[in-house]
Amino acid sequence: MNKEEFQKVLKDFEFQIRKRLPAMINSYLANRGNREYETAFNHLIDTLQRTRKELLKHLSKVARQEEKLRYFNAVYNLDSQLRSMGNKETYQKHLRFRRRRLAAPVVYDIGGGPEQGDLLNIAEEGALLKTAEKISVDREIRITIDGKQARGKAMWSLADESGNVETGVRFLEVSEDFLKEIKEKLKE
C-alpha cells in the first residue's frame, strides 16, 4: 500500500465510523432479532475490523504523523461506539421504565446510612427510585419499604434539570414480603 492508497482507505474508514456506524447501531438496536439488520450490522463490523488491521499493518511504513493520529482517533471512536451499545440498550429500558409513576416513600442505603427517597416504578427484576444524589453504576443498594427489604445494584443514575435523580435498580435479592408490599402500594 502506498501513501495515496493509505490516505484514501483511512478517509473511507473515518467516514464509515463517523457516519454509517451510528446509524447501523441505532437500526440494529431498534430491530433486534431481525436477521437482516443483524447480518448488515455484523458485516459492517467485520469490514471495519479488517480495514483496521490492514491500516495498522501499513501505519508505520507510509503514514505521516497526522495520519497516525487520525487513525488512532478513528479506532478509539469505533471502540467507544461499540461499547456504548450496551449503554443505549440500558437507556432504552430506562425510558420504557419511566412511563408509569407512583409515589411511595422508600428508604435506601448505599453504605453511608439510610436516606429517604421515593419509589417511582417497579418491575419483577428491578425498581426506579428518586434519590438525593447520583449513585455510581454497580453500587449495591438496600431498599426498605414499610420494614420489608430488598437488595440490588444500580444500573443507571440520571439527574434532570430540577436536580432530581432517577436511579434504576436491578434486584439481586428480594423477599416475597417485599414484593407483596410493593403490589399493595401499586393498587393504592
Q: State pLDDT tens for residues 81-125.
A: 887 776 666 655 655 555 555 667 778 778 778 888 888 877 767
Q: 43 with 50: CB under 8 angstroms?
A: no
Which band of pLDDT confidence, cut at 50, 70 and 90, is reported for residue 180? confident
- Per DSSP, 125 falls in state S
167, with CB counted inside 10 A (0-12, 13-18, 19+), is: buried
Which cell numbers hold the place of 108? Answer: 435506601
The mean pLDDT value for 165-175 works out to 85
CB within 8 A of 51, min separation 6: which ones? 9, 12, 13, 16
What is the DSSP track for 74-91?
HHHHHHHHHHHHHHHHHH
Distance CA 15, CA 76 (A): 14
pLDDT (0 to 100) of residue 74:
93
pTM: 0.48
CB within 8 A of 124, min separation 6: which ones? none
Going through the chain in order, the beta strands assigned E by DSSP cover 104-109, 114-122, 126-131, 140-145, 148-159, 165-174
Which cell numbers hold the place of 144? Answer: 426498605
